[in-house]
Structure 1
Amino acid sequence: MEAFVTTLLLTAIVQTGDRSQLLCAALAMRFARPGQMITAVLAASIAGAAIAALGGVIVGDWISRDALALFYALSLLFAGMGMLAWRRPVDLLQGWRIGPFVTALLGVMILQFGDKGQFIIAATAARSHDAVWPLLGGAVGTTLGLMPALIWQDELARWPLRPVRIAMGGVVTAIGLLLALRAFGLV
């Protein structure tokens, strides 16, 4: 259950002001079909979390306990640093003419593939040797993290996301750094 809760919280946090969130807001405004958008985001989140969790369980069987601790620490450290870094603008998929569900599904899956949330899911699955709880936590957390963009859309642009993103990025970076120092036996 710890794997579910930590993955849910961390994946929701790292979505704050992320490109996936901005894409979801833009697509929600463009298509005005909230049901299809939510379903597509949930499906994309489940697919991405499944890939990450299964990969994490496979990797978890190959590496030592100390390396797993370092893998988890680095996933948080790099996720936090990624929140602090500049992001290139998101492609709003204006040229895509495949409908709201498929556009949102593929757009979110492409942006999420190899993103910080997936590394957190993979590292949690590797550490816990369980794919189910990190998969569920990651899928729910990612969906919850993207939900404000689907609900508030253009209002989201007026929110002070940058300071919140920097504050949360600092916290996640600090936790990752602390866990990395622990993994090396320095703390």
Structure 2
Amino acid sequence: MEAFVTTLLLTAIVQTGDRSQLLCAALAMRFDRPVQIVAAVLLASVAGAALAALGGVIVGDWISRDALALFYAMSLVLAGVGMLAWRRRVDLLDGWRIGPLLTTLLGVLILQLGDKGQFIIAATAARSHDALWPMLGGAAGTALGLLPAVIWQEDLARWPLRALRIGAGAAITLIGIVLALSAFGMV
């Protein structure tokens, strides 16, 4: 259950102001089909989390306990730094003419693959040697982080996303550093 809760919270937080969240808001405004957009976000979240959790369990069987602790710590450090770093502009997929469901599903899934949330899910699955709970937590957290963009669309711009992103990024980076030092036996 710890794997579920931590993955849910962390993946929801790292979506704050992320390119996936901005893409969801743009697609919700463009298509004005919230049910299809929400369905696509849920499907993309589950698919991405399942791939990450499966990869994490496979990797978890190959490396030692200390390396797993470092892998988890580094996933947090990199997620936090990723929240603090400059981001490229979001491609709004204007040229995609495959409808709201497929455009959102593929667009979000492509942005999520290899993203910071995926590494958190994989590291949690590797550490816990369980794919189910990190996958469920990661899928729920990703959806929880992206759905406000679908609901509030342009009103999302009024939120202090940059301040939230910087604060959360700094906190996650600091937690990751402490965990990394602990993995090296320095704390």
TM-score normalised to the size of structure 2? 1.00
Distance 2:34 2:134 in 1: 26
Counterpart secondary structure, 2:147: helix
Q: Does 1:119 align with 2:119?
A: yes
Letter in 2 for 1:85: A
Distance 1:149 1:8 in 2: 17
1:160 corresponds to which residue?
160
Q: Does 1:110 align with 2:110?
A: yes
Letter in 1 for 2:60: G
Deviation at 1:158, TM superposition (A): 1.8
Letter in 2 for 1:114: G
4+ runs of 1 displaced by more than 3 Å?
A: none
1:175 corresponds to which residue?
175
Segments of structure 1 that go 5 or more residues without pairing to the other structure are: none
Percent identity for Structure 1 against Structure 2: 79
Distance 1:32 1:179 in 2: 43
TM-score normalised to the size of structure 1? 1.00
2:142 corresponds to which residue?
142
1:128 corresponds to which residue?
128
Correspondence list, 1:64-103, <5 A: 64-103=64-103
Distance 1:71 1:4 in 2: 18
Q: How many residues align?
A: 187
Distance 1:26 1:157 in 2: 11
1:25 corresponds to which residue?
25
Deviation at 1:94, TM superposition (A): 0.3
Deviation at 1:160, TM superposition (A): 1.1
Deviations 1:132-155 (A, max 9, x none): 000000000000000110000001
Distance 2:118 2:64 in 1: 21
Deviation at 1:109, TM superposition (A): 0.3
Deviation at 1:157, TM superposition (A): 1.1
Q: Cα RMSD over matched residues? A: 0.4
Letter in 2 for 1:59: V
